[in-house]
Amino acid sequence: MDEGVKWLSKLFEAGIDSLDIIITKEDVLRQDTSGPMSYLSPLIDNEDFAVFFAKSKHSFDDSDLLGKSLDELPEVRKYILKLDNEFPYWFYFLSKESPGLFLIHQCHMLPFLSDEDEFDLNINQFKENIINKWLPAMTEMCDFTNMSDQEMEEMCMRVYSYLKNRGKA
């Protein structure tokens, strides 16, 4: 049993249903997703984990990164895009009450734009991610966990509300 599965099993047995994924500055600089992926991969392979940990969060642990707009840092953007390509299940797993999901969204968008230009220049990429990546991945997890249509619709509405409010709970 690998480290991620062991840790998830301990949290599961203890009844702790929130999983905080810590991404270090070193991970970002090395573009190494293996640490977070050791915890994320088992979520999509184990139905019990998938149901139980449907409220994960992720954060950056280095104070050098805090206080800056992370989605504007090239190294962070590149890292998040790499992680998102390996694990597109954010709509299902990430909390809709923390800024993590919005960070992932923003890393796909062109940075440094005015509000007016942001919509015009980023709408196609946004649609592409929603239609061809994030919603299908969420649907896959909903099917895997036998989520009802009503529960899935409620999850979609939480995601919509979250993104509409620009990641503010």
- CA–CA gap between residue 88 and residue 43 (Å, rounded): 12
Calculate ∠ Cα 121-106-37, nearest 5°: 135
Per-residue confidence in pLDDT tens, the chain, 169 aa: 688 899 899 988 998 887 888 888 899 999 999 999 999 999 999 999 999 988 776 665 554 555 567 888 899 999 999 999 999 999 998 888 777 888 888 899 888 888 788 878 888 888 999 999 999 999 999 999 999 999 999 999 988 888 888 755 4
* Of residues 87, 138, 82, the one with CA closest to residue 108: 82
Rounded distance, CA 58 to CA 78, Å?
A: 16
Cα 130 to Cα 23: distance, rounded to the nearest angstrom: 24
Q: What's the rounded Cα separation, in Å, for the pair 57 and 5?
A: 17
